[in-house]
């Protein structure tokens, strides 16, 4: 077993890309058009929902990611103020094909069973060796929706 020296690093909450004014205009035009069509088709509530969803989408696009402190120690993995004990985790995987690489932690939860943590400026092999002593290593993949969100810049 490795030393009980905790491993820490800082990571961005998510990938962030600056959106141009054209992006916001496009979202606005599409949302207003869809809302007008919904209202013409006698679905006022859906039209209002589309406008609220577009506004929420724009607000999320402007939001900058927080810098999170990640701590891996003998008790578990802590991201910001959320602690995941090893007893609440099934397995882990480090995806080195991403830039930056990501640590995937699988939990038995039904809703959002994968915890995705970006690994920025840290030795991956040291982390892998430490986690192998605590968890089963299993090849995991990020959810498709998360990949799509990153592709579209969220």
For residues 142 and 103, the model is more confident at 103
Q: How far is the first Cα of the chain from the last one, in angstroms, to the nearest whole number?
A: 39
The per-residue pLDDT for 26 is 93
Tokens read off for 82: 């959320």
What's the pLDDT tens digit per position in 30-84? 999 999 999 999 999 999 999 999 999 899 888 887 888 888 888 889 888 888 9
Lowest mean pLDDT among 62-66, 116-120, 148-152: 148-152
Res. 1: pLDDT tops 50: no
Q: Which distant-in-sequence residues (6+ apart) come within 8 Å of 32 by Cβ?
A: 51
d(CA 69, CA 131): 17
Question: Which one is predicted more confidently, 62 or 29?
Answer: 29
Q: What is the pLDDT of residue 153?
A: 60
- In this structure, are residues 106 and 92 in contact, taking their beta carbons and an 8 Å threshold? yes
The confidence score (pLDDT) of residue 151 equals 67
Is 0.75 surpassed by the pTM of this model?
no
Nearest to 114 by CA among 123, 125, 122, 103: 103
Indicate the average pLDDT of the chain. Answer: 85
Assess whether pLDDT exceeds 50 at residue 148.
yes
Measured between alpha carbons, how far is residue 29 from residues 8, 20, 24, 48, 59 in Å? 44, 15, 9, 15, 16
pLDDT at 136 over 70: yes
Q: What average pLDDT score do residues 22-26 get?
A: 92
| DSSP single-letter state for residue 153 | T
Q: State what percent of residues in the chain have pLDDT above 70.
A: 93
């Amino acid at each position: 077993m490795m030393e009980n020296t905790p491993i820490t690093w800082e990571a961005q909450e998510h990938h962030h890309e600056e959106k141009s004014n054209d992006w916001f205009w496009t979202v606005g035009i599409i949302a207003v058009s869809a809302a007008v069509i919904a209202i013409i088709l006698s679905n006022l509530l859906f039209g209002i929902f589309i406008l609220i969803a577009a506004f929420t989408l724009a607000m999320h696009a402007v939001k900058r990611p927080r810098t999170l402190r990640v701590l891996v120690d003998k008790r578990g993995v802590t991201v910001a103020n959320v602690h995941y004990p090893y007893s609440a985790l099934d397995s882990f995987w480090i995806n080195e094909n991403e830039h930056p690489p990501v640590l995937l932690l699988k939990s038995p939860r039904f809703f959002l069973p994968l915890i995705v943590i970006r690994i920025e400026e840290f030795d991956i092999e040291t982390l892998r060796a430490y986690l192998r002593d605590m968890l089963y290593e299993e090849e995991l993949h990020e959810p498709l929706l998360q990949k799509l969100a990153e592709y579209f810049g969220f």
